Amino acid sequence: MSTLDLFERMPAAAEVVPALVPGELWVIDATALLFRAYYGMPSLRSPTGVPVGAVFGLSQLLLQIVRRSRARRVALVYDAGRETFRNRLDPRYKAQRGEPPPDLVPQFELALRLGQALGFAAYSVPDFEADDLMATLARHAGAAGVGARLVSVDKDVCQLVRDEGPAVALEDPKTGDIQDEAGVRQRMGVAPARIVDVMALMGDSSDNIPGVRGVGPLAAIALIDAFGDLEGIYADLGRVEALTLRGAKGLAKKLEAGRAEAFLARDLVRLCDAVPIAVGSAAPGRAAVPQGPGGLLGQTCWQGPRADAGALFDELGTRGPLRAFAALRAALG
């Protein structure tokens, strides 16, 4: 199957549903979508032989999300590399993860260029993860008086959810299912504000964060429910034995032994909402958040593909995605 055959069959953009909350800022984890697309798309190459299957898959997923949500303010966030400030805090952080597949590596930069060519605000900042950019943009959106819809499956992002306006909700990129604070409590067992402390205790094997040895999810949730946060626990360890929790008598010793690991884990789990996003002209691959009239809201208002987008899609091998996004923008009015 050629890239042209595949993307000439991209669905028409006329069928859209009403926006759930007009004015929201949709923040989409494009790096996570790229990985998902890589494992779900056939192996495709550009006319010059560069792997492009994941990039085209990303364009399909973005088209589905924007069509479904009818989003008008959209920001794409990307990881800027494997090393971040968290690796300096703890060299073990994500150390268990192997290198990305060789044919995916050249597609990281192409994915960023794709987002820019399609006219979206595309953010990538060295030393920070896409989740940190989500946190930062959600804060900027709130300051500008609008809510944020965070399109991600990462449980770390649950800590950002809030019902109080301007609200922040989490949306599944595949199904469109939305999690508010109640949804997060059902998924994680605690309110969003307490997630970092729970994860600090129980750790996160997917990111190679140990947490406190011997403290699992049930114990971590019970401890945070009883004490509120890590400071509350370590200020009153003697009260831990009184909890109606299996193994409570030995839990205080485990907590004392893992004190340093707990606070380190919390620093690793907590998302940074103060990523230094450039003001004014941005270097290639770095979208700026301008100050003054418009600000972030003007930066992220999607006006459709850029005038020079055709060159990138010619390089990739087809203008099918470009036509699909142009039709979608016209359908949005």
**For the segment 138-163, what is each residue's pLDDT rounded down to a tens digit?**
999 999 899 999 999 999 999 999 99
Residue 12: predicted pLDDT: 43
List C-alpha distances in Å: 194 to 159, 225, 227, 235. Answer: 8, 9, 11, 17
Helix (H/G/I), strand (E/B), else coil: 20: coil
3-state DSSP helix/strand/coil % of the chain, to nearest 5: 50, 10, 40
Residue 242: predicted pLDDT: 83
Instruction: Report the C-alpha gap between 142 and 149 in whole angstroms.
Output: 11
pTM of the model: 0.89
- What does the pLDDT look like over 105-142, one tens digit per residue? 999 999 999 999 999 999 999 999 999 999 999 999 99
Residue 303: predicted pLDDT: 94
Residues of the chain with pLDDT under 50: 1-5, 11-21, 279-293
Residue 241: predicted pLDDT: 86
- Report DSSP letters for 111-140, one per residue: HHHHHHHTT-EEE--TB--HHHHHHHHHHH
Q: Under a CB-based contact definition with an 8 Å cutoff, are residues 212 and 244 in contact?
A: no
Q: Under a CB-based contact definition with an 8 Å cutoff, are residues 124 and 286 in contact?
A: yes
Residue 268: predicted pLDDT: 98
Residue 80: predicted pLDDT: 94
Residue 293: predicted pLDDT: 39
**For residue 35, how many C-alpha atoms fall within 13 Å in the half-sphere facing its CB?**
10
